[in-house]
Structure 1
């Protein structure tokens, strides 16, 4: 999870009696607010990048569903199409949630809660995005090469996303924790 308290705590310097001075406490609060603002700005930038991908995928899936070629699809292809479409809707909804939450909370002192919620929305949106891309790949590969190749390709794509988006970052995070400790 996001560790935003360490720097703010370090900035609050106690006086001779062990109490934080008003200036130090204010400086710590300002530092914390700056960290939260920076964290939220970074999350929104990440959301912008992911939104481009999901918008393109969603539009492509919508267009595919109304083409004459899709009218001859099998029952399995229609199921996979509906799954891909549902995952794309899930991704779009969760990736847009931080912007909606930001707008609804504007002017309220809830930046820390907003950062945590936006972090969760972004992670959930990326899970939906990985599922949407993988299931769309299954659909296209099934049409082009058959069900066995399609399921293999979709599984490989999903494993690739898990490796790049989850396992790699978790490994780096665990290494940095062990080096810092």
Structure 2
């Protein structure tokens, strides 16, 4: 049994493993890309509504930060597709998969921040309530639990040594 078999739990070459991991990564990115692109598209329209001019300065700043975060998340989550096109056929897929995986992780972190600031803005405008920061914090904790804590716990608990 070679190192690749022991590491991956499958009898596959480094190139086969990279191909499989690439396909899995692209399927995962498709879900996140769709969400971030819909959110980003919606955010771009807000500035053109009559209500935008009536927003408090703080809310306008939150909006601008949200749009910039959304643009950054979109770039990071589309980045793996561009990376694949640029390096295709260059025999660097294992390294490209690792880089694309990191880009996706950063994109998900940026998406978390985008959704956080979007929620903050929407709840501030909709409710004008002092409980908004607590509601946003609760949702962020939920996102962190679902997106990072539980997956990392499962990885640690179920990865064979």
The normalised TM-score by structure 1 is 0.81
1:24 is matched with none
Q: Work out whether 1:56 is the aligned partner of 2:54.
A: no
The structure that has the greater radius of gyration is 1
Contact 1:51–1:95 (CA<8 Å) still a contact in 2? yes
Quote the RMSD (CA, aligned, Å): 2.0
**How many Å apart are 1:155 and its aligned residue?**
1.6
Q: Pick one of 71, 86, 100 that aligns with 2:53.
A: 71
Q: Deviations over 1:22-50 (max 9, x none)?
A: xxxxxx8x622111101011111111110
**How many Å apart are 1:8 and its aligned residue?**
7.2
**How many Å apart are 1:66 and its aligned residue?**
1.0
1:134 is matched with 116
Task: Determine which structure has greater relative contact order: mean sequence separation of CA pairs < 8 Å that are 6+ residues apart, divided by chain length.
Answer: 2
Structure 2 spans left out of the alignment, 5+ residues: none
1:124 is matched with 106
1:42 is matched with 24
Q: Write out aligned runs for 1:1-181 (5 A).
A: 5-7=3-5, 31-146=13-128, 148-177=130-159, 180-181=160-161
**How many Å apart are 1:87 and its aligned residue?**
1.0
Structure 1 spans left out of the alignment, 5+ residues: 11-27
The normalised TM-score by structure 2 is 0.91
> Could you say if the C-alpha distance between residues 147 and 85 of structure 1 is closer, same or farther in structure 2, counting changes exceeding 3 Å?
farther
**Structure 1 residue ranges (4+ consecutive) displaced by more than 6 angstroms after TM superposition:** none
